[in-house]
Amino acid sequence: MSRLGTLGARLYRGEVGYDFVGKRKIWYGVSILITIIAIAGVVVRGLNMGIEFSGGAVFTTPKAGVSTTDIRQTAEKAADGHTVVVQELGRGGLRIQISELGTKEALPVQEALSKKLDVSTNKIDTQLVGPSWGEQIASKAWQGLAIFMVLVVVYLAIAFEWRMALAALIALIHDITITVGIYALVGFEVTPGTVIGLLTILGYSLYDTVVVFDGLKEATKDLTKQNRFTYSEVANRSLNSTLVRSINTTVVALLPVGALLFIGGGLLGAGMLNDISLSLFVGLAAGAYSSIFIATPLVADLKERDPRMKALAKRVRAKRAASAKAEAGGDRSAEEGDSGPDTDLEDAGAAPAGVVGQRRQPASRGRGRGRPSGKRR
């Protein structure tokens, strides 16, 4: 931990760091690629919709000494030609799924199964779904998604600014697309549990993004009052200094979900627990990635288009050029002997990092204000 703690400190001070903003094009590219693959997956392979959406029946039987093939035959006979999928569950029971089975047609199947397995019908867990119910859940979910997006964009626009709201929205759509795409590509079954998980990603992915943006907002508060760093640079620094926090929150969020996934999948076999945690797990991971690699660089990109930030970037560039020149000149003049250093040189001396040209700064400049690191309190 001491290593980690030190790393945290170095990240915090900006001694080490990864240039998320500078290398954003790479990550945009990665994300666009993933998104395209995801969309292609959905279009080409389609989603494997569970019986909740297509309508049908799922029977879960207690442990029984009947083979899956036997059961399948029994069920197929009773279900009159519908496709039957039989799955063995971890605890020895069987899960028999028949899609597109009407609620009325399901009864004889249940009876046939109970006869075959020699257990009472009450012991067989049954879920019968008409196709409209799943549609209802899904359409309500989309509706909720839309309302939530509008509200959250409005809120973030007020709490932060519209650029951050926009970036957060793009990151959110990105997360959801990736999650849905993975479902399409891997062929996981989509159930109401999946929808629940997906909807939770909304809140959670944004939670991460908001934590990052909050730091960003703080770091860039008095940005225009200095001319040493551009918005992108400060954004990147802020991102790096909160990196430990982002990683920790993500890990801590993923741990319980991972436990759910492990228990849900390992002990119970298929089921609601498994469905929720799987989509959550995928979505959370995507959310953590996007809030760091996508959301903040996007904000930086948008911000750099702002005239004030453009002006700032110009000032910074001019200053750096001047300082480079001055440094070169300073070296020469040092060799030549003291040749009446100007104010620029004095400043350069005070700030060996090569920050010069403070004359161009607005009158309100102050030493404390000039450092981005000073903004973090």
Residues in 266-305 that interact with other proteins by CB under 8 A = 267-268, 271-273, 276-277, 280
For other proteins, the closer of residues 69 and 104 by Cβ is 104
For other proteins, the closer of residues 23 and 339 by Cβ is 23
Contact 293, 208 (CB under 8 A): no
Can you tell me which of 77, 85, 211, 365 binds other proteins, judged by CB under 8 A?
211
For other proteins, the closer of residues 68 and 126 by Cβ is 126
User: Rounded to a whole number, what is the largest CA-CA distance in the chain?
Assistant: 105
Does 79 interact with other proteins (rule: CB under 8 A)?
A: no
The CB-based long-range contact list for 312-316 (8 Å cut-off, 24+ gap) reads: 312/223, 312/224, 312/227, 312/230, 312/231, 313/230, 313/231, 313/232, 315/227, 315/360, 316/227, 316/228, 316/229, 316/230
Rg (CA), the chain: 29
Q: At what angle do helices 296-304 and 307-336 cross, to 10 degrees?
A: 80
Does 22 interact with other proteins (rule: CB under 8 A)?
A: yes
Does 235 interact with other proteins (rule: CB under 8 A)?
A: no
> Closest approach of Cβ 353 to other proteins, in Å?
3
Q: Which of 143, 179, 137 is nearest to 53 (CA)?
A: 137
Does 62 interact with other proteins (rule: CB under 8 A)?
A: yes
> Closest approach of Cβ 164 to other proteins, in Å?
11
Rounded-to-integer distance, Cα 245 and Cα 85, Å: 45
- State the DSSP code for 5: H
> Closest approach of Cβ 43 to other proteins, in Å?
26
Q: How many Cα atoms sit within 13 Å of 334 on the Cβ side?
A: 9
Considering only residues 336-355, where is the footprint of other proteins by CB under 8 A? 351-355
Considering only residues 120-179, where is the footprint of other proteins by CB under 8 A? 121-130, 132-133, 136-137, 140-141, 143-144, 147-148, 151-152, 155-156, 158-159
> Closest approach of Cβ 36 to other proteins, in Å?
27
